[in-house]
Structure 1
Amino acid sequence: MATIQVKLKINAPVEKVWDVVSDIDNEPKFWKGTKEVRNISKNENTINREITIAFRDQKCMQEVTIEPKDRIHAKFTKGIINGEKIVSLIPEGNHTILQTDWNIKLTGMMSMFTGMIKNHIKSGTEQAMQSIKEEIER
């Protein structure tokens, strides 16, 4: 398993940060590793969706649970990635700590490359979170 954690302080209250990160249909705007999102079903705060990732245009299924103004938990349920990505908001006065935790591995024959992609995912996460920060602080 590849475990990755990235934290970033944003000069805005949780509500403002939540407005941007909770718009999960807009994920490809910030997360360059996600090329496309297609929602399949929604039941209250849980969304089942198919995402197309940049790695060879592979499709993955996700079950996304939204916990308002707290976190977004994306569990990979089918495809080349197995595991989860959790985006959390931690209030800190008038600021917000945006934290992304990955706990994933590649499936099947690709599993041997999990370690190799760890730095790539970490770099992509840092870039995505910086883009989110810039959008919010404008």
Structure 2
Amino acid sequence: MKNFNMVQIQASVDIDAPLDKVWNIISDLDSEPRFWKGTKEVRNISKNENVVTREVTIAFKDSKCMQTVTMQPKEKIHAQFTKGILDGTKTLTLQQLENRIRLDVLWDIKLTGMMGMFTGMIKKHIQSGSEQALESIKQEAQR
């Protein structure tokens, strides 16, 4: 059953760079705060092959969230929020087009508990933050 409090946020960008280069940028999870302004800090707790468990401090009230990040090399990065103010997922997907790479982000999230009423408000912030992040990743990859 779909949870009606969830909001979906999508953004994408086409990047003129090799797949490996784009993958190296987005798969460097520690550098996420450089591109994603809503992510203030990341602290990796454990890594098991392609799965990373980490604590993320987000800009919204400096809240800490737990995430399980699963990486499918050169295809996608799927972050599941497991604990904290955010509930849901953030997925980055890479797609090879003719001579460029399409990078998509899809958020399917809500704020938990009493903060749920602010979900609509943060949607705009996450949308513009995502667009800015993709643009920054594009600039970095095309350098």
Please tell me the TM-score bracket, short chain as reference. over 0.9
Q: How many residues align structurally?
A: 138
Task: Provide structure 1 residue ranges, at least 5 long, that are not aligned to the other structure.
Answer: none
- Among candidates 21, 24, 43, match of residue 26 of structure 2: 21
Q: CA RMSD in A?
A: 0.6
The partner residue of 1:36 within 41, 45, 48 is 41
Deviation string 1:66-123 (CA, Å, 9 cap, x unpaired) is 1000000000000000000000001002200000000000001000111111111000
Shift of 1:37: 0.5
- Structure 1: which amino acid aligns with 2:12? K
Q: In structure 2, which of residues 94, 101, 119 is the aligned counterpart of residue 96 of structure 1? A: 101
Cα distance in 2 for partners of 1:47, 1:131 equals: 23
**Length-normalised TM-score, structure 2:** 0.95
Partner of 2:135: 130
Q: Report percent identity of matched pairs.
A: 62
Displacement of 1:15:
1.2
1:33-72 mapped onto 2 (5 Å cutoff): 33-72=38-77
Report the Cα offset of residue 56 of structure 1.
1.1
Equivalent residue of 2:91, what SS?
strand
Mark the runs of 5 or more structure 2 residues left unpaired by the alignment. 1-5
> Taking structure 1 as the reference length, what is the TM-score of the superposition?
0.98
